[in-house]
């Protein structure tokens, strides 16, 4: 197959605008997947992705398509995540492509996140193929959406294919546009190997599998390869491509192609996404430009529910980090929770996804502490410290001034919800900047918000106050002075370090009240009365009490049948595993999360 018959592309879409469905239809139309193998949303092969209807990890699939010009083309479809937290992953997927399909919902128009990803694609000089989806819906207005794409993004969209991915309408037009509008890759297969690692994951049989886009040269089984950034060298055991259902070990990848390498790589820390692969005996002159490193913005502690699983948790985090370089972690200890890790995430959704993946893919029960941002504290001795863990927050007496990170947020919403959003942003200490009507019904609102206020449940709150219509995007703005206090939670009189968090002093009383109420709901009655208190610097500002349980007894033991009692005892044993014992108080794992959802 010559290089000019290859098309490498991604699909960019807002959540729910139909990216995965379109990918499915493309797979069907290219006969890559036999009907009986067709499982809805084949590309999203993680359970969480399917349940949440979002795409988390980039995947690459090779398809063949016989175009109207009679020629057969190879398509490499590289999947990208749609959510704001995953900009970094989008960026690395795009670096492996020459073009991107931009899917826009004909009923909703272009959304903030789509815009951000489209700009990312334009930064990478990709060709954009706009596609208007969901034309089967009664409220679809494809013409209006096309003109919106033109005015907002500035690309020609009048002849954009108007499709229904759900019904399979007009998918061929999309395939033809891929052939015509997306340029073939360039590169010389005889040049020294230069391949970009854009994803990787750990396979328990083959070791680390790296996904690559070959920019120059070729790689074959038996080749000695070097990963430039780490200097690690391996012998290629397998190389080839993925179709929709399996690995195809064809033994060679050439310039322009997308595929995988397995090289019995055991040390996951040596394969970095963004690194360049070359040959040991004929190396390329320089590495490809890597990805921009993203800095985690949200931090929280992750602890194994069962302290003995600390090693397993470390291993899980290492493996997740392998194909998610945006995850960072380092060991920490908590009085309440024992040994665990301080983890950094791109945002709250990223944090939730990582938690779920640890629990499902690695079968570990974990406890997560309240998320924190990085505070910048100037001490009375003139020193500046950065605090990402409330436990380490200095005493009020030694703080000269405190600063917190701010973000510039853009919220796109139907105009009906402007009032609700203003109210929400005010509650979250937002500073109104401006508001622009994109057309008669759609408004773009700009706010400056403390990151601290959006890492909890801002996104959920926004969705619930706009019936799910508003979308939200943010970028970092820097630090601003703030009146911050550390709020401690006491159970039965003892501070639980894992529940402490930083809050703006104006909100501290309301927040404290809510948290003690939430904790009261989630901590079951126990043998003693348990006071739950919230305190700032030793001063109690809120209190609730979990009353002592009064009745928990099996009165009957009939005819010498003690099996019921034994079953009960077994159940209690199981129950205790879901609990953390803090002093004399048994706290369910959910309680540590209850401080998160306060709206």
**Residue from 319, 550, 596, 599 in contact with another protein (CB under 8 A):** 550
Q: Which is nearer to another protein, 266 or 556 (CB)?
A: 556
Contact by Cβ (8 Å): 398, 382: no
Helix ranges restricted to H, 206-333: 310-322
Q: Which is nearer to another protein, 35 or 553 (CB)?
A: 553
Q: Which is nearer to another protein, 68 or 529 (CB)?
A: 529
Contact by Cβ (8 Å): 42, 24: yes
- Min CB(551)–another protein separation in Å: 5
- Min CB(366)–another protein separation in Å: 23
Q: Which is nearer to another protein, 36 or 551 (CB)?
A: 551
Nearest Cα neighbor of 341 from 361, 323, 322, 358 is: 358
- Min CB(313)–another protein separation in Å: 24
> With binding defined as CB under 8 A, does residue 397 bind another protein?
no
Q: Binding segment for another protein among 227-235, 301-309, 381-389, 549-557 (CB under 8 A)?
A: 549-557
Contact by Cβ (8 Å): 586, 576: yes
- Min CB(139)–another protein separation in Å: 41
When computed from its CA atoms, the radius of gyration of the chain, rounded to whole angstroms, is 27
Judged by CB under 8 A, how many residues of this single chain contact another protein? 27
- Min CB(560)–another protein separation in Å: 5
Q: Which is nearer to another protein, 280 or 549 (CB)?
A: 549
Q: How many helices (H) and strands (E) does the chain have?
A: 14, 32
Q: Which is nearer to another protein, 335 or 549 (CB)?
A: 549
- Min CB(308)–another protein separation in Å: 17
Helix ranges restricted to H, 409-503: 418-427, 451-454, 458-465
How far is the C-alpha of 227 from the C-alpha of 231, rounded, in Å?
5
Binding map of another protein across residues 558-587, x = CB under 8 A, - = no contact: xxxxxx-xx-xx--xx--x-------x---
β-bridge pairing 539-546 and 530-536: antiparallel
How far is the C-alpha of 103 from the C-alpha of 363, rounded, in Å?
35
- Min CB(310)–another protein separation in Å: 23
Q: Which residues inside 94-113 make contact with another protein, applying CB under 8 A?
A: none
Q: Which residues, including other chains, have CB under 8 Å from residue 559's CB and lie 6 or more apart?
A: none
- Min CB(104)–another protein separation in Å: 49
356, containing H or E segment: helix 348-361
> With binding defined as CB under 8 A, does residue 554 bind another protein?
yes
Nearest Cα neighbor of 593 from 491, 511, 519, 487 is: 519
- Min CB(570)–another protein separation in Å: 10
- Min CB(520)–another protein separation in Å: 17
**Residue from 71, 493, 557, 578 in contact with another protein (CB under 8 A):** 557
Q: Which is nearer to another protein, 148 or 586 (CB)?
A: 586
Distances (CA, A) of 475 to 295, 375, 407, 424: 12, 17, 5, 19
Query: For residue 23, which phi and psi values (nearest 5 degrees)?
Result: -60, -40
How far is the C-alpha of 77 from the C-alpha of 258, rounded, in Å?
9
Binding map of another protein across residues 425-444, x = CB under 8 A, - = no contact: --------------------
Q: Which is nearer to another protein, 34 or 527 (CB)?
A: 527
Q: Which is nearer to another protein, 158 or 527 (CB)?
A: 527
Q: Binding segment for another protein among 261-269, 272-280, 420-428, 552-560 (CB under 8 A)?
A: 552-560
**Residue from 143, 475, 552, 590 in contact with another protein (CB under 8 A):** 552
Nearest Cα neighbor of 294 from 229, 346, 354 is: 346
- Min CB(528)–another protein separation in Å: 5
Query: What is the spatial order of strands in the sheet that 366-368 belongs to?
Result: 328-334, 338-345, 298-304, 366-368
> With binding defined as CB under 8 A, does residue 293 bind another protein?
no
β-bridge pairing 194-203 and 207-216: antiparallel
- Min CB(588)–another protein separation in Å: 15
Contact by Cβ (8 Å): 210, 271: yes
How far is the C-alpha of 535 from the C-alpha of 530, rounded, in Å?
16
Q: Which residues inside 508-547 make contact with another protein, applying CB under 8 A?
A: 526-528
To the nearest 10°, report the CA torsion of 10, 15, 17, 19: 30
Query: For residue 583, which phi and psi values (nearest 5 degrees)?
Result: 65, -120
Q: Which is nearer to another protein, 378 or 522 (CB)?
A: 522
How far is the C-alpha of 411 from the C-alpha of 394, rounded, in Å?
35
Q: Which is nearer to another protein, 36 or 556 (CB)?
A: 556
**Residue from 190, 549, 578, 597 in contact with another protein (CB under 8 A):** 549
Contact by Cβ (8 Å): 380, 398: yes
Q: Which is nearer to another protein, 506 or 552 (CB)?
A: 552
Q: Which residues, including other chains, have CB under 8 Å from residue 252's CB and lie 6 or more apart?
A: 218, 219, 220, 221, 239, 240
Q: Which is nearer to another protein, 286 or 547 (CB)?
A: 547
- Min CB(163)–another protein separation in Å: 50
Interface ranges with another protein (CB under 8 A): 526-528, 548-563, 565-566, 568-569, 572-573, 576, 584
């Amino acid at each position: 197959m010559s290089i000019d018959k290859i098309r490498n592309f991604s699909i960019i879409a807002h959540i729910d605008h139909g990216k995965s469905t379109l990918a499915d239809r493309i797979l069907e139309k290219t006969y890559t997947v036999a009907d009986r193998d067709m499982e809805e949303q084949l590309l999203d092969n993680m359970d969480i992705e399917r349940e949440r209807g979002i795409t988390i990890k980039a995947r690459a699939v090779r398809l063949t398509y016989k175009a109207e010009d009679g020629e057969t083309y190879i398509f490499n479809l590289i999947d990208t995540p749609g959510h704001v937290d995953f900009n970094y992953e989008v960026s690395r997927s795009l670096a492996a492509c020459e073009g991107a399909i931009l899917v826009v919902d004909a009923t909703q128009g272009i959304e903030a996140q789509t815009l951000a990803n489209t700009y990312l694609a334009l930064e990478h000089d990709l060709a954009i193929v706009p596609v208007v989806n969901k034309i089967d819906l009664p409220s679809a207005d494809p013409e209006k959406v096309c003109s919106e794409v033109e005015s907002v993004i500035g690309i020609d969209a009048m002849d954009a294919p108007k499709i229904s991915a759900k019904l399979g309408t007009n998918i061929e037009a999309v395939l033809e546009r891929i052939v015509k509008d997306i340029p073939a890759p360039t590169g010389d297969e005889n040049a020294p190997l230069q391949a970009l690692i854009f994803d990787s994951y750990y396979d328990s049989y083959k070791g680390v599998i790296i996904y690559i886009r070959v920019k120059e040269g070729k790689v074959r089984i038996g080749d000695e390869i070097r990963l430039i950034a780490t200097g690690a060298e391996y012998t290629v055991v397998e190389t080839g491509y993925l179709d929709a259902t399996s690995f195809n070990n064809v033994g060679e990848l050439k310039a322009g192609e997308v595929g995988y390498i397995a090289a019995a790589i055991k040390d996951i820390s040596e394969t970095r996404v963004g690194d360049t692969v070359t040959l040991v005996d004929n190396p390329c002159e320089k590495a490809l430009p890597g990805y921009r490193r993203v800095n985690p913005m949200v931090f929280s502690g992750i602890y194994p529910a069962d302290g003995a699983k600390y090693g397993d948790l470390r291993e899980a985090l290492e493996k997740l980090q392998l194909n998610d370089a945006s995850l960072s972690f380092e060991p920490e200890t908590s009085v309440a929770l024992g040994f665990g890790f301080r983890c950094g995430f791109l945002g709250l959704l990223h944090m939730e996804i990582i938690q779920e993946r640890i629990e499902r893919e690695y079968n570990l029960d974990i406890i997560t502490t309240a998320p924190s941002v990085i505070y910048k504290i100037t001490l009375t001795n003139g020193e500046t410290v950065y605090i990402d863990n409330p436990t380490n927050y200095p005493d009020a007496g030694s703080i000269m001034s405190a600063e917190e990170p701010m973000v510039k947020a853009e919220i796109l919403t139907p105009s009906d919800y402007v009032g609700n959003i203003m109210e929400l942003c005010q509650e979250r200490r937002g500073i109104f900047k401006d508001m622009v009507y994109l057309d008669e019904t759609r408004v773009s609102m700009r706010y400056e918000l403390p990151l601290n206020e959006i890492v909890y449940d801002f996104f959920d709150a926004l969705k619930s106050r706009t019936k799910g219509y508003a979308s939200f995007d943010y970028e970092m703005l820097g630090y601003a002075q703030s009146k911050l206090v550390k709020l401690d939670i006491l159970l039965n009189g003892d501070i639980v370090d894992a529940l402490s968090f930083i809050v703006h002093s104006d909100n501290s009383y309301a927040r404290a009240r809510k948290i003690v109420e939430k904790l009261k709901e989630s901590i079951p009655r126990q043998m003693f009365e348990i006071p739950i208190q919230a305190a700032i610097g030793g001063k109690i500002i809120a209190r609730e009490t979990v009353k002592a349980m009064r009745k928990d007894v099996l009165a009957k033991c009939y005819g010498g049948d003690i099996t019921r009692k034994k079953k009960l005892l077994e159940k209690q044993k199981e129950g205790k595993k879901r609990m953390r014992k803090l002093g004399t108080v048994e706290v369910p794992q959910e309680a540590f999360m209850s401080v998160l959802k306060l709206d």
